Structures are given as C-alpha cells and as structure tokens.
C-alpha cells in the first residue's frame, strides 16, 4: 500500500525497487573493496615491518599517509571529472581505502605508547601521522589537479 492506504503504482514500485537494487549493489561493491583494502594494508604493513623493524609503527603510518594521498587524488578526479562514476568512487574510497587506512590502529598504538610511558614515541607518532597525512592529502589533490585540472 502507498500513502494513506492507496495501492502502490507499478511505476512507483519500479523506482523503489531500482533504488533498493542500486543501494544493495553499492553496498556489495564497498564490502568487496574493503576486503581488498584490508588485504593491501596487511601486505604493506608486513613489508614495512620486515624493512624497518618493530621499534615504531611504520606500517600504520605508511598506510595512513598513502591512503590520505589516494583519497584526496581520487575524490578530486571523481568530483572534477566524469572519469569515476559514483558507485566506483564509493567502492574505492569507502571500500578499498576505508579498509586500507586505519585510524583505529593508529589510535591504539599511540595510546599504548602513552600508557607505557613512552611519551616521546607517542608524540612522534601523533605529530608524524597528522602532519604527513595532511601533507599527503595536499599532495594527492595537487597531483590530481595536475592531471585533470580544476
């Protein structure tokens, strides 16, 4: 039934079904992208662990800086051009890069440093993450603008 007990018209029902189908499709693409992003985070974090050791959370910093760059670049390209359709934009930013970046891990690692009394490392992690992620975001935007303008 429609509004005020009126029967639902076929045209209206078709539009609502189409919207629901689009929402479900976007949801599934975002979930699939999230799986790819978490796998990529695992690989990059593991590689940096092998390369740089365990004295500092280099892997978390690397994924957050790279993710900041990529989100800025992708959003600019997606919103300034028609090169990236809305569903792909959502799958890449909310899905892949949402699964790739990891504020919660950054938060936990920083709090652990502070809890353990390693104030210097905690502050270095906080300052490095904030400044490098902001710089990477600006760099991503500049990079995208150099490619597509605006």
Q: How far apart are CA 145 and CA 72, in angstroms?
A: 10
CB contact at 8 A, 91 and 78 = no
**Local confidence band at 105 (pLDDT 50, 70, 90 cut-offs):** confident
* Interval 100-106 mean pLDDT: 86
Condensed to tens digits (0 to 9), the pLDDT of residues 47-67 reads: 999 999 999 999 999 999 999
User: 73: domain range?
Assistant: 3-148
Q: How far apart are CA 88 and CA 84, in angstroms?
A: 6
Q: How far apart are CA 141 and CA 3, in angstroms?
A: 46
pLDDT value of residue 8 = 56
pLDDT value of residue 104 = 78
pLDDT greater than 80 at residue 73: yes
What are the tokens at 68? Answer: 């900041």
Give the chain's count of helices (H) and strands (E).
6, 0
Question: pLDDT exceeding 90 applies to what percent of the chain?
Answer: 81
Question: pLDDT exceeding 70 applies to what percent of the chain?
Answer: 91
Residues 6+ apart with CB under 8 A from 45: 59, 60, 62, 63
pLDDT value of residue 103 = 85
* Interval 9-27 mean pLDDT: 81
pLDDT value of residue 12 = 67
pTM: 0.77
pLDDT greater than 90 at residue 14: no
Please give the tally of structural domains in the chain: 1
User: What does the angle CA 98 – CA 99 – CA 100 come to, to the nearest 5 degrees?
Assistant: 90
């Amino acid at each position: 039934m429609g509004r005020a007990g009126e029967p639902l018209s076929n045209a209206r029902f078709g539009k609502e079904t189409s919207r629901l189908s689009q929402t479900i499709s976007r949801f599934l693409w975002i979930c699939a992208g999230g799986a790819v992003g978490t796998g990529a985070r695992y690989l990059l974090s593991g590689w940096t662990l092998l390369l740089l050791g365990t004295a500092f959370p280099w892997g978390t910093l690397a994924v957050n800086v790279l993710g900041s760059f990529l989100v800025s670049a992708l959003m600019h390209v997606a919103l300034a051009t028609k090169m990236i359709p809305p569903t792909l934009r959502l799958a890449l930013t909310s899905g892949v890069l949402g699964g790739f970046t990891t504020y919660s891990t950054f938060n936990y690692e920083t709090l652990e440093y502070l809890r353990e009394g390693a104030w210097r490392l905690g502050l270095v992690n906080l300052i490095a993450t904030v400044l490098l992620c902001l710089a990477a975001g600006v760099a991503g935007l500049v990079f995208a603008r150099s490619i597509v303008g605006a």
